Amino acid sequence: MRSKDIDGDGWEERHLMQKISTFVAMNIARIIEHFFFQLGQWCQWMWMLASRPEKWSVYYREAVRQADAIGIGSLPVVFIISVFFGAVTAVQFSYQISGTFVPNYYIGYIVRDMSIIELAPTFTCMLLAGKVGANIATEIGGMRQKEIIDAMEVMGINTVAFLVWPRLVAALLVIPMLVVISAGVSIVGGFYTSIWGNLFTASEYILGLHSFFEPYNVFIMLVKAVVFAFLLTTISAYQGYFVGTGSIELGRASTRAVVFSDVAILIADYVIAVIMT
């Protein structure tokens, strides 16, 4: 090999390039194969979800329990982050327009629309993917590892429907409510910045809130909230349902649930933005 290199015919470089390209090609093939396997499995899984629930009353009871966990459990953290969404947006926009001809009341207008169209649905749902999504993946994954899912299957229960429907219904009802609360709190957060920060007056901010209001934006917010709620619930439940054995796998499933949910939310956010605006 050395003599070939000394000859200067580039054999070693070619050999290395060949090895790298083989390695890259094999990994790409593996990723594509894995992607299609997951997609097929997800489709089958969603098909099982589409079947009729065995007993509505039991599903209803579970949905109420889940709605309580998602809604009441997430309210404090949604409240805290939403105050800061609005406050930070107001401060930063105020900084950007300082020394320009853009009037100060635009701050209220920008905070309102940013909160409604983007910050409240997207960031709240990304936060909920971390909180609720990880919780769903861990809870269902734990049931898989402790053979609770097997026990239900032996009883003849459609486990996908039983585990996912109540969580999905609860999320579809509660998450849009949390998003609406988040938007409201965010706008209020921006308002209080005006009092504490002395960057603009309260009346300027309120004038901005009343300017250029498009009710259609609220509709976009609700569509986003529903779509994101669907994504974060089904992705997290899917990750939990097919968890491997051991606590490391449970941790991985929980991480995948959050990461995949966040990525899916951002992709869906872009698609909705393109379609609806």
Residues that bind other proteins (CB under 8 A): 54-55, 57-58, 142-143, 146-148, 150-151, 153-157
Query: Which is closer to other proteins, CB of 19 or CB of 30?
Result: 30
Query: Which is closer to other proteins, CB of 66 or CB of 182?
Result: 66
Q: How far is the CB of 157 from other proteins (least distance, A)?
A: 6
Q: How far is the CB of 152 from other proteins (least distance, A)?
A: 8
Q: How far is the CB of 173 from other proteins (least distance, A)?
A: 20
Distance (Å, rounded) from C-alpha 272 to C-alpha 147?
Answer: 39
**Cα dist from 228 to 77, 133, 139, 233, 241, whole Å:** 18, 11, 20, 8, 20
Query: Which is closer to other proteins, CB of 19 or CB of 65?
Result: 65
Residue 210 tokens read as 């009343």
Q: How far is the CB of 148 from other proteins (least distance, A)?
A: 5
Please work out, in degrees rounded to the nearest 5, the angle formed at the alpha carbon of residue 85 by the alpha carbons of 174 and 201.
Answer: 125
Q: Cβ of 13: how many Cβ atoms within 10 Å?
A: 10
Query: Which is closer to other proteins, CB of 12 or CB of 68?
Result: 68
Distance (Å, rounded) from C-alpha 248 to C-alpha 239?
Answer: 14
Query: Which is closer to other proteins, CB of 138 or CB of 217?
Result: 138
Distance (Å, rounded) from C-alpha 112 to C-alpha 118?
Answer: 10
Query: Which is closer to other proteins, CB of 4 or CB of 65?
Result: 65
Residue 187 tokens read as 């706008």
Q: How far is the CB of 143 from other proteins (least distance, A)?
A: 8
Q: How far is the CB of 228 from other proteins (least distance, A)?
A: 26
Residue 137 tokens read as 């993946």
Distance (Å, rounded) from C-alpha 160 to C-alpha 240?
Answer: 11
Distance (Å, rounded) from C-alpha 185 to C-alpha 250?
Answer: 35
